[in-house]
Amino acid sequence: MSPKHVVFKKVSRDKSVAVYMAKRDFVDHCDFVDPVDGVIVIDPVQLKGKKVYVMLSCTFRYGRQDMDVMGVAFRRDLFVVTRQVYPEMQDKDKLTHTRVQQKLLHKLGDNTYPFFFEFPDNLPCSVSLQPGPNDVGKKCAVEFEVKAFCGEDQDEKVNKQSSVRLTIRKIQFSPENTEVAPFADMTFEFLMSEKPLHVKLSLPKETFYHGEPVKANVEITNSSSRNIKDISLSGGILLLHIKHLPQLYTFSFTHLPSLL
């Protein structure tokens, strides 16, 4: 039995534009990133002579979406590229890069047009950070979106009835390397003590997934004359530094003190 292929579809309210995509997660393999591809289906009667554009955008957002009121946008575009798909600027064969696009073009008819984007270098991956109960600040996120719309030109105000948005994700591929375990060590020297205290912290691997427990191994060599009363372990600080933004947003993602 052949595997089932899922196709994501979204249609504008006035039925003039529809977007079809074979996937919504695009992997950053470190040396290359999966390209964004799909097709646009148009209704020439509803378009009434207007052009159709497709846009790929990467946006940094600070706070909730409903905070974008009174003309004050708590967001900034990190990357935006727009291309005209109708009337077509190139031959369909030159813009068709995948077999899924070929099948959709054949199945959906003559009013179907392909689109293709490549991610630029050094774009951040999709992320959403929720502040903890004791953190100061609001939610911040990096979001990617494919948007199709129609108009006389690409710079005019977009009519929501004739546009469609499809959220996508750029995710990171992190290969597990079990050959070398990460570790950190430190030596403490005390006054009136000839020999030092040596502490080594090691982890079983570099990559941990959401919900997976982090098991740490602590080795202590106390050659000093001091007595160790207690040792506490806590999580680190996650820093999100978005290029082209003057601020540095800091969130404490975990703080788990443990008495050993």
Domain regions of the chain by residue span: 8-172
Q: How many CB atoms lie within 10 A of CB 150?
A: 25
Q: How many CB atoms lie within 10 A of CB 64?
A: 10
Q: Which residues of 155-173 are buried (b: 16+ CB within 10 A; e: fewer)?
A: eeebeeebbbbbebebeee
- The torsion angles phi and psi of 245, rounded to 5 degrees, stand at -110, 135
Residue 254 pLDDT > 60, yes or no? no
The single residue listed with the structure tokens 């982890």 is 203
Quote the CA–CA distance of 17 and 31 in Å, as a whole number.
Answer: 34
Residue type, 223: S
The predicted model scores a pTM of 0.65
Q: Which residues contact 203 (CB under 8 A, 6 or more apart)?
A: 181, 182, 183, 214, 215, 216, 217
Q: Are 114 and 96 in contact (CB under 8 A)?
A: yes
Which region among 32-36, 164-168, 176-180, 254-258 has the lowest average model confidence (pLDDT)?
A: 254-258
Quote the CA–CA distance of 37 and 101 in Å, as a whole number.
Answer: 8
Residue 55 pLDDT > 60, yes or no? yes
Q: Which residues contact 91 (CB under 8 A, 6 or more apart)?
A: none
Taking the domain 8-172, which CATH number applies?
Answer: 2.60.40.840
Mean pLDDT on 23-36: 86
242-248, long-range: CB within 8 Å, 24+ apart, which pairs? 242/60, 242/78, 242/124, 242/142, 243/78, 243/122, 243/124, 244/76, 244/78, 245/60, 245/76
Which region among 2-6, 61-65, 132-136 has the lowest average model confidence (pLDDT)?
A: 2-6
Going edge to edge, which strands form the sheet with 197-202?
183-188, 197-202, 217-222
